[in-house]
Structures are given as C-alpha cells and as structure tokens.
Amino acid sequence: MSGLIPEINIHKLERVKLNDPDDEKCQTFVFHNEDHTIGNSLRYMIMKNPEVQYCGYSNPHPSEPKINLRIQTHKIAAPDALQKGLLDLQNVCDHVLATFQKSVQEFKDRASEKMKTDSEDDCSDSG
C-alpha cells in the first residue's frame, strides 16, 4: 500500500551557509525537487518587494530537479523577503484558482440553462 502514497521530501528547502553569519541581507536558498516553474514565479514576486535589491535563480543542471535562489536586500533579512514572496505567490495562486473555479461554474450554469431552454423548445415544436 505504501507504493500508492507519494514520498514526501521534508528537506525541500535549505539555506546555504553564509560567509558572514552576521549578514542576513544576502542569502542563497536551495529548493530541492523544484524547477523553473516555481523559480521564475517566486523570483518575480520577491523582486516586487521594494526592500529587495536583487533576486535571481539558477538551475545548476537540467537533469537535476533543484534551483538555487539568491536574495539580496537593502534592510530586511533575506529569509523575511523569501517568506513574504512565498505568501504573496500563494495569494496570487489562490486568487487565480478562485477566479477559475467561478468561471467554470458560470460556464456550467450557462450550459445547463441552454440545455434546459433547448429541451423546452423541442417539447413545444413536437406539440
């Protein structure tokens, strides 16, 4: 039965050790089992923060599912910028999902109404 349950990698994010442990404003994070999809989206959201001076990511090798995300900030700690970026990205995804689900429901409602109208037209034509 354990073959049906996907493995959960609890070590999905790691911080690269700092050269200067007192400098929290410049940090590299490694995301395991991730690729350009999360990398570019997260980079975009983090760069929208005015406290962020630089944010970039790289995929060290195409066959390795891992990205390195580098954040450099003016005043706030880089982990705080990462956390804000993740929350902002989650909020955007939640909004997109809600908008999509609403549109799907509206489409289904219109299709159902059209089928009902067509059915009534068929009944009146045969009578």
- The domain ranges of the chain are 13-113
Mean pLDDT throughout 21-31?
A: 89
Q: What percent of the chain has pLDDT over 70?
A: 84
Instruction: In whole angstroms, give the CA distance from residue 2 to residue 77.
Output: 40
Q: How far, in Å, CA of 99 to CA of 120, rounded?
A: 32
**pLDDT tens digits for range 52-70:** 999 999 999 999 999 999 9
| Domain 13-113: which CATH number of 3.30.1360.10, 2.40.50.140, 3.40.50.1820, 3.30.1490.270 | 3.30.1360.10
Tokens of 39: 């990398």
Tokens of 70: 């580098």
pLDDT given at position 1: 43
The values of phi and psi at residue 37, to 5°, are: -55, -55
Q: In this structure, what token pair is assigned to residue 35?
A: 């690729």
pLDDT at residue 18 in the model: 74
